[in-house]
Chain A
Amino acid sequence: MVILEIDKISKSFASVVANKEISFSLNQGEILALLGENGAGKTTLMNILFGQYSADSGQIKAWGKILPANSTDAALKVGIGMVHQHFTLAENMTVLENVMLGTQSLFSLRSDTRAARAKITRICQTMGLSIAVDSYVSDLAIGERQRVEILKALYRDAKILILDEPTAVLTPQEVEGLFEMLRNMQKSGLSVIIISHKLDEILAISQSIVVLRQGEQVAKISTSSVDRGELAELIVGKKVLQPITHQLPPGEPVLHLKDVNLFKDSKGKYQLKNINLILHERQIIGIAGVSGNGQRELAEVISGILKINSGSFEILQRDCRSLSIKQLRKLKVARIPEDRHSAGIVGDMSVWENLMLEDLGADPCWSWGFWIKRAAAKTRAEQLIKKFDIRCANMQMPAKLLSGGNIQKLILARNFQLEPKLVLANQPVRGLDEGAISFVHQQLIDAKAGGSGVLLISEDLDELLRLCDYVQVMHNGELSKAYPREALTPKLLGILMSGGQLDTTDTPQILSSGSQINAV
């Protein structure tokens, strides 16, 4: 039975067409996947469906009736529930309170917790959810918080559940749990729209797939009729070539961290605990982990932003514990920051000024003492723009107007012009499209071939397993030993990411993952 019809929805922001005449329908008990690259218009479409934006044209019918545009209330009322990528929970409240939040009348003096509790129990039983209703949200792991979000939607009698990138923050094991739950819900008649760009997961869970590309609907197919390759081609619009990497003989150690500790405050709460890491020339070492387990701190230590409390930190056999950011930079450390918009560029400055942002004052090609060599700097910037193929109307335009991929190219240009010895890449391809991803990966591989050591921090396990020679896993501020790529699978990485241990023999086996201490 068709319960939701999306009929020729179009929406544009200024001159950017986010959605162009998109039409598909959803059956009861169906899991439909909405696929596309970043910026393909998936989230916009779902925000229109949920009443947060209004479409420029087209309409949405739920159970045969037209859904009023731009009304979240109306969407909630007919039974559309949305779980956003970033959770919207009050951490200092219990699960029960969070679920009830906003469902009661503002003027009612009593709150009927007993009825609410009964309803939650009923939902949990029929849907196969397990959750401790009275625990505080701040004590819950990420996967559990997601369950609370889903429960919130179900409590409001959602019959269509929209999940925006639900697996982005989960370990592979948690993803399994989520999918099992979704299958249970499906059996009890719930329909799900799941937004993602992870192909394997989509193929595993969905029955039909809608593919968006640059705002247009390029395919509506049933999952059983496609394979991974075809799907990737549909998403990108062309065959995707993945850069290949070869093992090279490692050279001298470039980066050496020994027993590094970093405390949050004087109480001695660890942010980094006993970190050991050796990175050699012509090597890529990956740091895996669920975000928030100390990767950011590790990156900031190596960039010189944070100073370690104990241990040794050497780059090219030189003690770097007390060096400033600029001094570290002189040791030829290239840094690709995690958040390229806020840490990588000054958006309101021009492209050419952003190209000299990090080395102004240190590199004589930009300035002569105190004075900026404007003419020479612009010539230099023009060369870099050409060499790294930064697509911009002109170098005077503010850097914030560049696309994500071009911003990343700008940052790469700035960093790779100094022929770095050490490359620190923190989530270098997050949010980029396939073309930009392979460009960035190729640059990292070239850097490795050119003799640098590359430290790649990523949450994307495929990326790590494809590029890295060794992978180390971060969990709760601690870093595992280095595992060679050949010995790892996404599943084994998942165990390490949630705090489990692997056997150390050649055939890796699970030793102790029973405790499953989840990272918060």
Chain B
Amino acid sequence: MQFEAREHTPLAFLLVVPLIAVLCSMLFASLLIMWAGQSPLQGFALIFEGAFGSTFAITETLAKTTPLIFTGLAAAIAFKAKFWNIGGEGQLYCGALAITWLGTGMIDLPPWLMIPFLIMVGMIAGATILMLPVFLKTQLKVDEVVTTLLLNFIILLFVGYCLEGPLKDPMSMGWPQAAPIIDNGIFPQLIERSRLHIGLIFALLAAVITWAIFRFTLWGFEIRAQGLNATAARHAGIKPNWTILKVALLSGGLAGLAGVSEVAGLKGYLTLDISPGYGYTGIAVAMLANLHPLGVILSALFLASIFVGADFMGRSIGVPNFIADIMVATSVLCILIGLLLCKYRIRFNPRLSKTSSVNREVS
């Protein structure tokens, strides 16, 4: 068996690969559903119904899509420059913590100022915490995978401390939760009596802006160049440390924004479980989208619908909703294998193919 580099990747491949990946993950999940003693068809029908079956289901799915778009973009931007920011989760909580600190009464502005203010605060907080790994990487060459990953736990423990101590809401009857964000800072709902809030619009805007940055600006060009060939970028005068800094600011800011949107948009106050690992799932979102900012929207929607749908299926027929995690994992694996096959083709046992394969290649 040999891998051979393809000179051209057919466009159809790039479009079909995500679909095949999704199908493979469904195939795998159906085995598990059968193992749980249920019919896979019914299972998938329930997943679909749970995600898109009613207005409520759709709003729930979209509400879950929102933070995934933010964290997905955060990962996609960083990975484009080969800056491996695994700390989306921590940056998300930093954003959430910062607006809890400033937005629960310390500062009061009219809504049209308060919401942008909170967004800015959250982005700055997410970006700031990422400066530590950036400093360690650029000055001391410490691997950012380790530092960003481990920082997640430190931040999470710190948030836990804050919720039990200085930021604990005296009205919470003992629950470890912070005081609610003041009314002027709460994101307006998009649809009455749903959990869908204006954060989704911000997320879509963020995706479009990110796409535009990569396509139309100097920054985007430099980030892409550095990620694709750091040596050539350096030779062309693109300063590697500056590029990492820019990337980290964008990436950390977007992850922080996810925290803002969850606290000020969805829940209203900070708890230790505002994110069931959105920071980590964002990495899967970015991979599934092949790091394309607009693709992030679709892959975030896909993963959100699986999560929401699997919950519904779990409640209806008693299949554990862990199947959602397995589907996400298998689809990401399938996408990675699929992308490999986009770049290379496999030739089995070249000795048997002999001259016939030569003719085929030429024609």
Contact = CB atoms under 8 A, between A and B. Distances in A.
Given A10-B355, A15-B361, A15-B362, A343 B237 contact: no
Main secondary structure of the interface of B (DSSP, over half): helix
* Most-contacted residue by chain A among B234, B235, B239 (CB, 10 A): B235
Contact of A345 (B6, B7, B229, B354): B229
B218 interface: yes
A370 interface: yes
A176 B216 CA distance: 57
A101 B216 CA distance: 55
B13 interface: no
24 contacts: A12-B358, A12-B361, A14-B6, A14-B7, A56-B353, A56-B355, A57-B355, A69-B351, A303-B235, A304-B237, A326-B237, A343-B231, A343-B235, A346-B225, A346-B229, A346-B232, A347-B228, A349-B224, A349-B228, A357-B232, A361-B218, A371-B217, A372-B221, A401-B8
A353 B231 contact: no
A337 interface: yes
Interface of B: 4-8, 216-219, 221, 224-225, 228-229, 231-237, 239, 350-351, 353-355, 357-358, 361-362
Nearest to B347: A14
Nearest to B234: A305
B216 A70 contact: no
B5 to A, nearest CB: 8
Contacts of B234: 305
A371 B228 CA distance: 21
Contacts of B6: 14
B232 A360 contact: no
A351 to B, nearest CB: 14
Interface of A: 10, 12-15, 17, 54, 56-57, 69-70, 303-305, 324-326, 329, 335, 337, 339, 342-349, 353, 357-358, 360-361, 367, 370-372, 374, 401
B228 A346 contact: yes
Contacts of A56: 350, 353-355, 357-358
Contacts of B357: 56
A342 B229 contact: yes
Nearest to B237: A325
A57 B357 CA distance: 10
A342 B361 CA distance: 29
A346 B233 CA distance: 8
Given A13-B4, A361-B218, A57 B228 contact: no
Contacts of A343: 231-232, 235
B311 to A, nearest CB: 40
Contacts of A10: 355, 358
Contacts of A360: 218, 221
B358 A57 contact: yes
Given A56-B353, A57-B358, A326-B237, A370 B217 contact: yes
A347 B5 CA distance: 14
Given A357-B225, A372-B217, A70 B7 contact: no
Contacts of B362: 12, 15, 17
Nearest to A414: B236
A57 B354 contact: yes
A46 B5 CA distance: 21
* Most-contacted residue by chain A among B224, B225, B233, B236 (CB, 10 A): B236
A492 B5 CA distance: 45
Contacts of B8: 401
Nearest to B213: A370
B345 to A, nearest CB: 8
B228 A348 contact: yes
Contacts of A335: 235
Contacts of B224: 346, 349
B221 A358 contact: no
B233 A329 contact: no
A508 to B, nearest CB: 37
A14 B218 contact: no
Contact of B237 (A17, A69, A358): A358
Given A12-B361, A15-B362, A56-B354, A370 B233 contact: no
Contact of A348 (B229, B231, B355): B229
- Which 4 A/B pairs are nearest by Cβ-Cβ distance? A325-B237, A326-B237, A346-B229, A358-B236
Given A348-B228, A348-B229, A325 B236 contact: yes
